[in-house]
A and B are shown apart, each in its own frame.
Chain A
């Protein structure tokens, strides 16, 4: 699975949009981009995933560049409860669920 690179930390003001970048320049055509987050001392929580098209759900939006070498997770209106470590993972269906987690981005939402 392709390696992903994320900034180590990011601050965001409550109520503002949080844009979390992820670089996956070696991603292959059959690898999906998944985003999970981990609130302190809990198991990771699924946020969103995509292959080529942009995706949106009740939690977030995922923007994938046309060349698929990078993506951005958008939390439209950050709340204090969004403070967590956010992980971007590239994975194929062959290794479904077998995630190689990187360091992720520590997002701190401040009042």
Chain B
């Protein structure tokens, strides 16, 4: 089946720095990808819709200047957490839609 790969799987960064997370569709092209965030013991929360060649659409309450999304090709979307703070520590998950919606394995971000 289709595979979506995220990188890195884990990252620890210092407060105030920026972190980039990549989401790739490995065997299909995805004009649309989605980014979710999941805090411990909570469900996944949709952050934004990433559209190839155009601006991302953010959900209410998600700061677009803090969570920069770039979808420059049909197989790659990136999420950059800018000026990260400890409260941004979370599990970030992407998905891409082919015949179904396929999810990446997630990225565990810890900001210290």
Query: Which residues of chain A have a CB within 8 Å of any CB of chain B?
Result: 36, 38, 41-46, 49, 87, 96-104
Contact = CB atoms under 8 A, between A and B. Distances in A.
A103 B45 CA distance: 10
Q: Which 6 A-B pairs have the closest CB atoms?
A: A43-B103, A97-B97, A97-B101, A101-B44, A101-B43, A44-B103
B89 interface: no
Interface of B: 4, 6, 32, 34, 36, 43-46, 49, 91, 93, 95-97, 100-106, 108
Contacts of B102: 46
Given A46-B100, A97-B97, A41 B44 contact: no
A104 B45 CA distance: 13
Given A44-B93, A44-B95, A44-B103, 16 more contacts: A41-B108, A42-B105, A43-B104, A43-B105, A43-B106, A44-B44, A46-B101, A87-B43, A96-B97, A96-B101, A97-B101, A98-B49, A99-B95, A101-B45, A101-B46, A102-B43
Do most interface residues of chain B lie in helix, strand or loop, or is the interface mixed?
strand
A97 B43 contact: no
10 contacts: A36-B103, A38-B44, A41-B91, A43-B93, A43-B95, A44-B95, A46-B102, A87-B43, A97-B96, A99-B44
B40 to A, nearest CB: 10
B46 A99 contact: yes
Contacts of B49: 98
Most buried by A among B34, B44, B91, B104: B44
B46 A100 contact: yes
A96 B96 CA distance: 10
A48 to B, nearest CB: 10
